[in-house]
Amino acid sequence: MSGSQAILALEDGRYFVGRCVGAKAECYGEVVFNTGITGYQEIFTDPSYCGQIVILTNPEIGNYGTNTADNESERPYIEGLVVREFSEIASNWRSSEHAADFLSKHKIPIISEIDTRALVRHLRTQGSLRGVISSLEGNPERLIEKARSIPTMAGLDLASSVSAKQRYEWTRGVEPCSPSDAVESAGGPAHHVVAFDFGIKHNILRRLVQKGCRVTVVPSLTSAEDVLALKPDGVFLSNGPGDPEPLKTPIKNIRKLVGRVPLFGICLGHQVLGLALGGKTSKLKFGHHGVNHPVLNKTTGKVEITSQNHGFVVEPESLKDSEIELTHFNLNDQTLEGFRSRKDPAFCVQYHPEAAPGPHDSRYLFDEFVNLMKTA
């Protein structure tokens, strides 16, 4: 690991000087923060972070290394990483590679020795900002100008760039660590699920297989006709990066699928389904990124602690009450976290019930999807 200087510069003129760890490089993106204590590898490899520089608020990162089993995709998707301290030592029996080496292989820069508390407080006040991390350029003013030239996240279609290029079958389930992780189907797959890939996480696919589903993953621009030709029992709408509103083709295709086949959406899939049903979306000030967000399930009256990663939300008042039941709300800011159709087999949530590494309060939603396919 290197010890040379690195700079994080923000579009509003503020900058932070720290230490370069790993790759000497320069990166650009929207700067967001994640409050999770563990799960940094899952964050690195979540395609929903494409186009974003991530600040981790836990003060020490990298101390348990990385391993291939915990990847949420084939490679890391964050643009850059900001931390208070990056551990020189990786100490865990599952670790196969130091986290800095893992990111360096993909030329992703890390800046450490940053006052992440001050930086996060600044973003909470100002909102998410465009930024640059560089260990190549030492002039902060030049980096600030570069930050101001980065496209804003609003209006940006990133899902198309991270989606699979061709259709494939997913067959790997969850590696059982407890009886609750065992595959629940005694025979062969009971249901065929076609999953739209807007930036899908591997653990979503593992959970579907665990529930006894045969899973076919299709690119984001796959037509409704081609999906129906696969004879699915249900269609899944995945998470992904960027603004949902530019996804005109997926929105049109999903609108055609409503009422034809059971639908279940997560994160960006929630937003796209909302737009397909006539709703509107808007951008949050600094987004929801973490593993401790309380969500009220209005159907049961219970509070779920949830894993979240999104910068846009569906506006609840834009959905027709006669057609849509609002089922979940965030207790921190009252934003909409889930809804279902009153007349068609379709529902979605804004958060991540597959939650790797956790929490697992919302895994029941996969059971609800299976039950919907059984009764449709």
* CA neighbours closer than 13 Å in the CB half-sphere of residue 337: 28
Q: How far apart are CA 373 and CA 358, in angstroms?
A: 26
Give the list of residues 6+ apart from residue 60 with CB closer than 8 angstroms, or none. 83, 84, 85, 86, 87
Among candidate residues 267, 289, 310, 328, the one labeled active-site is 267
Known active-site residue 354:
yes
Question: Scanning the structure block, which residue is given the tokens 């409503």?
Answer: 258
Question: Which is nearest to 58 in space by CA: 81, 34, 76, 90?
Answer: 34
Residue 195 CA to residue 95 CA, distance in Å, equals: 31
Q: Which residues, listed in sequence order, are joined to residue 116 by a DSSP beta bridge?
A: none
Residue from 191, 270, 328, 352 carrying the catalytic annotation:
352
User: Is 267 a residue of the active site?
Assistant: yes
Q: Is the Cβ–Cβ distance between 321 and 339 less than 8 Å?
A: no
**Distances from the Cα of 285 to the Cα of 31, 153, 294, 353, angstroms:** 12, 12, 18, 23
213 is catalytic: no
Are 295 and 329 spatial neighbours (Cβ–Cβ below 8 Å)?
Answer: yes
* Rounded Cα–Cα distance for residues 324 and 338 (Å): 10
Q: Rg (Cα) of the chain, in Å, rounded?
A: 20
Q: Output the CA torsion 97→101→103→107 (10° steps).
A: -150
3-state secondary structure 80-141: EEECCEECCCCCCCCCCECHHHHHHCCCCCEEECCCHHHHHHHHHHHCCEEEEEECCCCCHH
Q: Which of 11, 42, 337, 354 is catalytic?
A: 354
What amino acid positions are annotated as catalytic residues?
Answer: 267, 352, 354
